[in-house]
Amino acid sequence: MGSATVDGHCAPGFTGVRDAFERNFREHGDIGAAVTVTVEGEAVVDLWGGHADAAGTRAWEHDTLVNVYSTSKGMTALCAHLLADRGELDIDAPVVRYWPEFGQAGKQDIPVRWLLSHRAGLIAPRVPLPEGCAYDWDRVCAALAATEPWWEPGTAQGYHAVTFGYLVGEVVRRITGQSLGMFLRSEITGPLGARVFIGTPAQEHARCADMVGRLDEARITAQFPGVPKPPFRTLADHPLAVVMLALLSLPTGDVNSAAYRSAEIPAGNAHASAHGLATVYGALAGGKLVGTGTLEAMRRSQSLPGERDLTIDALAPAGHEHHWGLGYMLNHRGQAGPNPGAFGHGGAGGSYAFADPENRLSFAYTMNKYGGGTTGDDPRNRGLVRAVYRALAQTRRPGAGPEIRPRSGPANPDAERNNGKCGMHPARRGRGGPERA
């Protein structure tokens, strides 16, 4: 571990974030990384440093892209919410309204809501697919359409680590005629000038950092020695069957390859700069992408009080709870700072990005050294988030501006649920509220 040359800027009062960023290189072994924080749409922190490859031959630049794994899901979910905000997608409509073939194997009543909230029971195809099929969109979607759910839909939540992107992405494609990545670029990231791609153009590959360490079968089997790999007949075949199905059923191959970077795997292969992710979440926090009703629907808990996630919590300590919004990780554990209304998504390896609408703040951290898990609990991003909110509190101390603002209403988002049940069906409203109150 050592130091790295760090470039960029911090606004007055935010130098503690630079200290935390530099500490990640010294104490946590970061190789190349970037962090961007916006407040009221302005970048108060925009830092980058280190190297884009293990050999140290390429400097990490402001526009460096890197695979952010499941941080991608926040962008994928946003595409669906943009369509809902426009009235083109009803979150509570059955998926078959948009994707008729999905109704096979008893799935005709599953609403789009359950795709976004990881309640559909479709963590993997039932029929094993050969290596390389993750790049074949039509084949994967056909397999998922034919799949019988692994549990009764709506009765439990289980992180759809890879299939989330195909399921939500196919709904977007059926409505728009565009792939998820094309829609993201044409409707969100392109107009914002944000460097975030799902299906990275070949001309951008030279700006992609190499992941050093990665989530692959070797890492997973080493973490769970002796645990059988798919196929499984049921989740009862092994206590960790749900984890192995979710992570190993659709292997994606070498994440540093041109084929992977060019493919669209919307649950986990966005290539983004920290500045790009923070730009998108900043626009979301500032009310520039969707209306107030849609924003509230995105971050309303779809999880029952005390509910565990079948996939994530198989790896977590006893008593761990995981709260899902509609495609987003909620902030009940404070991983995104003190505002329980903040929401976003993390990625395997340590990347993390979120919006804090009450404080008009966005945060994004990207890196190429594979480290912590998906839930925003990597010590590198946690240290940065703490430094951001310390700085925000200082710059907004009495006499220096407004204080940090928590979300109004109940601290526990589950209190907003409809009698604790999933799949609410309140009436539609106009723009800014088609996803309901």
Helix boundaries (H) for 204-311: 217-223, 241-248, 258-262, 274-285, 292-298
Q: What is the pLDDT of residues 199-229, one digit of tens each?
A: 999 999 999 999 998 777 777 777 788 888 8
Six token digits for residue 200: 């990275």
Q: What percent of the chain has pLDDT over 90?
A: 76
Q: What is the pLDDT of residue 219?
A: 74
Q: Could you tell me which residues come within 8 angstroms of residue 329 by beta carbon, excluding any fewer than 6 positions away? A: 322, 323, 335, 343, 344, 345, 346, 375, 376
Helical H segments across 177-208, by residue range: 180-184, 190-192
What per-residue confidence (pLDDT) applies to 1?
Answer: 62
Q: What is the per-residue pLDDT across 259-297, written as a single tens digit (0 to 9) for each?
A: 999 999 999 999 999 999 999 999 999 999 999 999 999
Residue type, 387: A
Spell out the residues 6+ positions from residue 421 whose beta carbon is closer than 8 angstroms to its own.
none
What integer is the mean pLDDT of 184-190?
98
Contact 125, 147 (CB under 8 A): yes
Mean pLDDT for the chain overall: 89
pLDDT at 355: 98
Residue 407 above 80 pLDDT? no
User: Cα(199)–Cα(137) distance, rounded to whole angstroms?
Assistant: 12
Share of the chain above pLDDT 70, in %: 89
> If you average pLDDT over residues 357-366, what whole number do you get?
97
pLDDT over 70 (residue 429): no
Write the DSSP assignment of 33-46 as a string of letters.
EEEEEEETTEEEEE
Question: Is there a contact between 352 and 386 (Cβ–Cβ < 8 Å)?
Answer: no
Q: Are strands 42-50 and 271-272 parallel, antiparallel or unpaired?
A: unpaired
| Strand order from edge to edge, sheet including 329-330 | 6-10, 42-50, 32-39, 361-367, 352-356, 343-346, 329-330
pLDDT of residue 404: 66
Strands (E), 92-192: none
Residue 45 has pLDDT above 60, yes or no: yes
What is the side-by-side order of every strand in the sheet holding 196-197? 66-67, 271-272, 196-197
Looking at the predicted structure, is the pLDDT value of residue 394 above 70?
yes
Q: Residue 151's pLDDT is what? A: 98
Please give the average per-residue pLDDT across 391-417, as a whole number.
Answer: 60
Q: What is the mean pLDDT of residues 152-163?
A: 97
pLDDT at 430 over 60: no
Average pLDDT over residues 400-410: 57
> What is the pLDDT, as a whole number, of residue 435?
36
User: Hey, is 68 helix, strand or coil?
Assistant: coil
437 pLDDT tier (thresholds 50, 70, 90): very low
Q: Hey, what amino acid is at 264?
A: E
Q: Residue 408: its pLDDT value, please? A: 63
In which band, very low, low, confident or very high, does the pLDDT at 419 lie, cut at 50, 70 and 90?
very low
Query: What pLDDT shows up at residue 217?
Result: 72
Which contacts (CB < 8 Å, 24+ apart) does range 131-134 have? 131/251, 131/253, 132/253, 133/250, 134/162, 134/250, 134/251, 134/252, 134/253, 134/263, 134/265
Please check the confidence at residue 396 and state whether its pLDDT lies above 70: yes
